[in-house]
Amino acid sequence: MWPLVNLIVALGMLVVLPLGLALLDPAGLRTVRRLWPLFAVPGAVCLWLPRGALATTPACGYALGALLLAGHAAGRLVRGGRAVPAPAEVAALTALACPAVAASALVAERAGYRLLGFDLDILALTVPHFHFAGFAAALVAGLVCRTADRPAARFAGYSVPSGTLLVLAGYFVDDWAELLGALVLTAGMWTVAWLTWRDVRPTVPDRATRALLAVSAAVLVATMLLALSWAVGQATGLPHPDLAWMAATHGLGNALGFALCSVLAWRRLATPGGRSEDKGPGTGALPATWARSRPGRDHSTPIRRP
């Protein structure tokens, strides 16, 4: 299982995250994006090293890059000047903050340190979770929220970050709290899938981009159903997939089918000619940047990592 998890995490660090940053704030994050390989390559390398100082040092390099993103999010929040940011901005801030959570778990796990008392295996699985169910999910939810101007889109903009935060809180409370987070996150992500299929995909003239959006929406329905079944099983004791099976299905599906297809599609939409003219409500031109907000708007059977 762990080689597959490592590959998924490396995909997030080296591909999904830098592609996503270009959709968040190309101007404000220009320097970080140029330097990102200096953070991401050591982060990907440390996954394959034995626990200890040799693995912890490059993991700290990745954490530095993640902290720069979190700092950018904090600055954006202060400059926004709103007590309650718009839903798309909440999603953007969540996307920028999630890599720091993943990096914290990565550094602790590579050092062999049980951060906050969590098993090392749980810390290792927190890394892909906050790259894909954190960064990528919030990123796409925010993009959909800005593109499909309807109540369902605003619900997605708030519910995906809320679900991500509730899942994190569930780590510290119990499995029932984590189940609540999974329910909220699933509702938000299924809304993202529905809006992608209904509002975004039909307005795209390019066949390849439409296909990427269709795959991302369809896969998201299945992967979130798997996540929900696992959370229900953990809380109730009902039979549910083990972690190895979840990594091979939910994890791989989220990484390739949802996250990668989504960022590739939205990058294509952000290029000139990548989207058709306005064809109805919620189908205006895709914002190429989030630099400005629109106003008003089982732990049961541990699987040991080498």
pLDDT of 52? 95
pLDDT of 242? 84
pLDDT of 221? 94
In the three-class reduction of DSSP (H, G, I as helix; E, B as strand; rest coil), residue 227 is classed as: helix
How many of the other CB atoms lie within 10 Å of CB of 74?
A: 13
pLDDT of 161? 95
3-state secondary structure 185-216: HHHHHHHHHHHHHHHHHHHCCCHHHHHHHHHH
pLDDT of 149? 81
pLDDT along the chain (306 residues), means of 10: 92 96 89 95 96 96 96 89 84 96 96 93 93 95 91 95 92 90 95 95 92 96 93 89 87 95 94 47 38 37 41
Q: Which pTM was predicted?
A: 0.86
pLDDT of 273? 53
